[in-house]
A and B are shown apart, each in its own frame.
Chain A
Amino acid sequence: DAGVIQSPRHEVTEMGQEVTLRCKPISGHDYLFWYRQTMMRGLELLIYFNNNVPIDDSGMPEDRFSAKMPNASFSTLKIQPSEPRDSAVYFCASTEAGGPSNEQFFGPGTRLTVL
């Protein structure tokens, strides 16, 4: 298996622009998580899905952030409009319900810089 796939790996954009981050979870995994990581705030859970349905989006910082999972193999995180404080590494992770260890498999991350 290729693991969790994220694109793009790096994104540099200007304030006010729309940013779309993409994630393909591991096939067969029914949970998908979006995280944001910064030096100041550490690793923050933004939203997670179970069987494509959003379960908890309480970590989404503002209405500028939205996430979708139209099918089991694809999810997007969109920021519109983007702001410099959104600069961070965004990780997508997936896991399989009922696994012995609840291990979350992380993608390589998208490093977002908003100028």
Chain B
Amino acid sequence: GQSLEQPSEVTAVEGAIVQINCTYQTSGFYGLSWYQQHDGGAPTFLSYNALDGLEETGRFSSFLSRSDSYGYLLLQELQMKDSASYFCAGTMDSNYQLIWGAGTKLIIKP
């Protein structure tokens, strides 16, 4: 079947760097997206990797390796406001449907 696996929780210190991993098992994989969701809020888009390699957007970067069925989200210079849940989501085939991971809760300590 189609599934994405990511850690349930990650803890880091303010100002540090943290990496959230995502592995997937699926056919017809088109690309990997990352979304951020604060408690009580809606998911918001962070990044999308259609090709292998690193995509950088400010303090956030996302990486994809199709050969390893693996991707990660890298957050640098962590701020307390980055405390949230982060979801990886796979685009399958060409129908724009996303297959979602269970989410990683990022806890940032001062």
A residues with CB within 8 A of B: 31, 33, 42-43, 45, 48, 50, 55-56, 91, 93, 95, 97, 100-109
Further pairs besides A56-B95, A102-B33: 14, Cβ < 8 Å: A33-B97, A42-B102, A43-B87, A45-B100, A48-B96, A56-B97, A100-B48, A101-B33, A101-B48, A102-B98, A103-B33, A103-B45, A103-B48, A108-B41
B100 and A42 contacting across the interface, CB-CB below 8 Å: yes
B47 — nearest CB in chain A belongs to which residue? A101
Contact A91:B33 (CB < 8 A) given known A42-B103, A43-B87, A48-B97: no
Q: Which of B30, B96, B102 is close to A31, meaning CB atoms less than 8 Å apart?
A: B96
Main SS of the interface on chain A? strand
* With A42-B100, A101-B48: A55-B42 Cβ-Cβ less than 8 Å: no
Give Cα distance in the complex from A13 to B27, angstroms.
41
Q: Secondary structure of the B side of the interface? A: strand
In Å, the complex CA distance between A55 and B95 comes to 9
Q: List 9 A-B contacts (CB under 8 A).
A: A45-B98, A50-B96, A56-B95, A97-B96, A102-B31, A102-B48, A104-B45, A104-B98, A106-B43
Residue among B42, B96, B97 making CB contact with A107, cutoff 8 Å:
B42
Q: Are B91 and A102 in contact (CB under 8 A)?
A: yes
Residues of A close to B30: CB separation below 8 A: 102
Q: Which residues of A contact B100 (CB under 8 A)?
A: 42-43, 45
Query: Is B44's beta carbon under 8 Å from chain A?
Result: yes
Binary interface encoding of chain B residues 85-110 relative to chain A, with 1 for a CB under 8 A from any of its CBs, else 0: 00100010001111010110000000
Q: How far is the CA of A103 from the CA of B91 in the complex (A)?
A: 10
Q: How far is the CA of A45 from the CA of B91 in the complex (A)?
A: 13
Q: Which chain A positions have C-beta within 8 A of B48? A: 100-103
Q: Is the CB of B33 within 8 A of A109?
A: no
